[in-house]
Amino acid sequence: MPIKFYKYQGAGNDFIVIDNRDLQFERTNHERIAQWCDRRFGVGSDGLMLLENAEGYDFKMVYYNADGREGSMCGNGGRCIVAFAHDMGIIEDNTRFIAVDGEHEASLSKDGTWVRLKMIDVNSVAREGDDYVLNTGSPHYVRLVDDLDTYDVVKEGRKVRYNDVYKAEGINVNFVEPQGTGYAVRTYERGVEDETLACGTGVTAVAIAMAVDRGETGSLMVPVKARGGNLKVSFERSGTVFHDIFLEGPAQFVFAGEI
């Protein structure tokens, strides 16, 4: 039986999105999800999302990594599923939805292509040598580097992701370099097991880690350039707690089809 799917991208981070409010999609068929995400044997994407009903919310977001396994929160995916819900007429300019890491709020621009998404609070940022480890809905490792454009993100990312500390559960690894008033970032993503053009929870982690690195407090807005586009992260820092964290950037429909 053919299933209707929609392709969305946020700063080059791309996703298959399926309206599963009727619960007809077979969520346990992880091999099929992985095949659909494959860029040669399927539709091709960094992940797959299901939009489902949830009591008390506009919708529920269910996210799968490209390897077919259900994943943790995806920031750019969250922004894309908000754009999808808007395009489907499920929401208007504002929404409140539930994901694996809890409740989220979001708002859209008038044309529906720019989404501002509220992320979960961050209560701690750990140090590992000169690097930073924190959870922004997904676990992230942040490292400052020089010459980011030529840096071997896949090789160095795999060293961290598969070391003895992280290999069981995995971790996303972000490499960052100051650029202008903000930062440039490249990310190795677990579940994709490769570099992606952008990572929403990753750029959020970078902005927060760099605030710690520079000793910045109060209300902050950080422009972050990913390989696939420009994003913004804003938040309030009170001591060791980061709250009112918002990730914003483009979220756009690419094409639809049946598979």
Give yes or no: residues 11 and 76 share one domain. Answer: yes
Helices (H), the chain: 30-37, 75-87, 153-161, 200-214
Give yes or no: residues 136 and 113 share one domain. Answer: no
Q: What is the pLDDT of residues 44-59, one digit of tens each?
A: 999 999 999 999 999 9
CATH number of the domain enclosing 224? 3.10.310.10
Domain range for 175: 126-247
Give yes or no: residues 43 and 133 share one domain. Answer: no
Please give the pLDDT value at position 202: 98
Angle at 214 between CA 107 and CA 171, to 5 degrees: 65
- Select which of 34, 108, 115, 199 is catalytic: 199
- DSSP 8-class letter at 181: T
The Cβ of residue 158 has, within 10 Å, a number of other Cβ atoms equal to 16
Please give the pLDDT value at position 147: 98
Domain total of the chain: 2
**C-alpha distances in Å from residue 114, one per residue of 117, 182, 211:** 10, 20, 25
Give the HSE-up count for residue 127: Cα atoms under 13 Å, Cβ half-sphere.
Answer: 6
Q: Strand pairing partners for 234?
A: 221, 246
Beta-strand ranges (E) seen in the chain are 4-10, 13-19, 47-52, 60-65, 94-99, 102-108, 114-118, 126-128, 131-135, 139-144, 172-179, 182-189, 194-196, 218-226, 229-238, 241-250, 252-258
Give yes or no: residues 164 and 232 share one domain. Answer: yes
The helix/strand/coil state of 257 is strand
Give yes or no: residues 131 and 240 share one domain. Answer: yes
Give yes or no: residues 14 and 64 share one domain. Answer: yes
199 catalytic residue (yes or no)? yes
Q: What is the pLDDT of residues 6-21, one digit of tens each?
A: 999 999 999 999 999 9
Share of the chain above pLDDT 90, in %: 98
37 catalytic residue (yes or no)? no
The answer to whether 214 and 133 have CB atoms below 8 angstroms apart is no
Q: What is the pLDDT of residues 88-132, one digit of tens each?
A: 999 999 999 999 999 999 999 999 999 999 999 999 999 999 999
Give yes or no: residues 142 and 200 share one domain. Answer: yes
Give yes or no: residues 13 and 104 share one domain. Answer: yes
Burial level of 132, CB count in 10 A (0-12/13-18/19+)? Answer: buried
- Select which of 62, 74, 122, 211 is catalytic: 74
Low-confidence ranges of the chain (pLDDT < 50): none
Paired tokens of 134: 């924190």
Please give the pLDDT value at position 1: 81
pTM given for the model: 0.96
